[in-house]
């Protein structure tokens, strides 16, 4: 038996539009993001999910409610990577620097590595295996957890996941499919 996951990213935020790194900050959906999610809801209206999970960050919760019209199951393991002192930053940094090393600690956020995100997602996948065999799961979350699924379920390296990230090309789609065996 297996579990089917359809992964959705939260809608565009004001921070996204300004190229700010939101990390663990709540983030607020922009007007563009609100319209994206209303349209996503229309596109996926015919899809049926056994359960919908989202991170506990406000932009993901708001996205889930707009697209799916209901309350999701909230799970902290689906949070974005904690960018530490780089949270809210406009500066570019090479994410591969933080695969094994945590982002620098800040006054409000502690910083973590992408391996930390991978470990959280591996734990979440074990939870799904124990509780949702044969089910179709929807997840609404962030870049870090999605790339971690690419690493865990599609056997990519972190560098490959970053290099092939759809965000670089703008190749958004209404959900990415993953299978947990």
Which residues are known to be catalytic? 10, 80
Q: For strand 3-9 and strand 176-180, is the pairing parallel, antiparallel, or unpaired?
A: antiparallel
Residue 33: half-sphere exposure toward Cβ, Cα within 13 Å: 22
Alpha-carbon distance 7 to 88, whole Å?
A: 25
SS3 64: helix
CA dist 148 and 82 (Å) reads 14
Phi, psi angle pair for 127, to nearest 5°:
-60, -45
CA-atom Rg of the chain in angstroms: 16
């Amino acid at each position: 038996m297996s579990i089917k996951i359809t992964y959705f990213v939260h809608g565009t935020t004001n921070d996204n539009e300004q190229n700010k790194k939101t990390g663990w900050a709540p983030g607020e959906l922009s007007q563009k993001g609100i319209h994206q999610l209303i349209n996503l809801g229309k596109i996926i209206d015919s899809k049926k999910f056994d359960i919908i999970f989202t991170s506990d960050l406000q932009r993901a919760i708001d996205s889930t409610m707009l697209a799916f019209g209901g309350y999701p199951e909230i799970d902290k393991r689906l949070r974005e990577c904690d960018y530490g002192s780089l949270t809210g930053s406009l500066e570019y940094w090479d994410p591969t620097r933080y695969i094994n090393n945590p982002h620098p600690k800040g006054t409000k956020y502690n910083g973590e590595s992408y391996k930390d995100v991978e470990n959280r997602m591996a734990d979440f996948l074990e939870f799904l295996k124990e509780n949702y065999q044969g089910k179709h799961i929807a997840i609404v979350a962030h870049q870090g957890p999605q790339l971690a699924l690419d690493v865990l379920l599609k056997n990519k390296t972190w560098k490959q996941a970053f290099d092939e990230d759809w965000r670089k090309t703008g190749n958004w789609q209404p959900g990415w499919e993953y299978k947990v065996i």
